[in-house]
Amino acid sequence: MKINDNTADFDTIGEEHVGTSADTPLRDDAFVLSNEEKINLIKEDVRHIMDTLGLDLTDDSLKGTPNRVAKMFVNEIFGGLNPDKKPSASTFSNKYKYGEMLVEKNITVYSTCEHHLLPIVGKAHVAYISNGSVVGLSKMNRIVDFFAKRPQVQERLTIQVVKELQKVLNTEDVACVIDAKHLCVNSRGIRDTESSTITAEFGGKFKEAGTRREFLDYIKLDTAF
């Protein structure tokens, strides 16, 4: 079963919840262990990997690595698996009747490829058209960062950002473009250091050619990073 951090995203069929395809694939029991218990278990797993590689875990530079990596996984780079860390996105009334799109561009993305557990580094560009409320600017950066802090594929990250903002702002009129480098492509495997990946999700009015064009003109993608 796939669990999302947001039960409102589930379609309900009788008693059964069916996750949408944009949900992060988590098991039902994903939150049975405390963060401390997870860190202690992962620490032993990392120690085992290092030990298998033949590394001397008594070396003063290496001995802290299992604990360091375990804390980093749970609290930092995969911290967005924890629904408690989801940012609360304050919204305000659009009293000034601002009717054009708002674009938050060049949002820094640090994520982790779920196929290789290597970094994804890039920029996200997010836009919406108000349906009566506006969201604090920084909350868009925080929402991107929350979903980035998970094992990800870029397509899912892009969709999760849009779905969350659609919910927060109560409108379909939300778009997100992400341009990012995958170290699994750049630093290993094919080792193409120059290529990057662009993904896009356009909701509501952003499906219309003119609105989409305006957004893409604002973000001038080729200068994104």
Q: Considering the complex, what minimum distance in angstroms separates the CB of residue 132 from ligand GTP?
A: 34
Q: Considering the complex, what minimum distance in angstroms separates the CB of residue 120 from Zn ion?
A: 8
Report the candidate in 127, 125, 126, 136 with the shortest Cα–Cα distance to residue 94. Answer: 136
Is 113 annotated to bind ligand? yes
Instruction: Output 111 or 171, the one with its CB closest to Zn ion.
Output: 111
116 flagged as catalytic:
yes
Are 182 and 168 in contact by the 8 Å Cβ rule? The answer is: no
Q: Kindly name the residue from 17, 155, 172, 184 that is annotated as catalytic.
A: 184
Q: Considering the complex, what minimum distance in angstroms separates the CB of residue 70 from Zn ion?
A: 21
User: Which residue has its beta carbon closest to Zn ion?
Assistant: 184
Is 17 annotated to bind ligand? no
184 flagged as catalytic:
yes
114 flagged as catalytic:
yes
- H-state helical runs in the chain: 35-52, 65-71, 137-148, 154-169, 183-186, 209-219
Footprint of ligand GTP (CB under 6 A): 113, 115, 153-155, 182, 184-185, 189-190
Report the candidate in 1, 153, 145 with the shortest Cα–Cα distance to residue 10. Answer: 1
Are 140 and 104 in contact by the 8 Å Cβ rule? The answer is: yes
Active-site residues, by number, are 113-116, 154, 182, 184
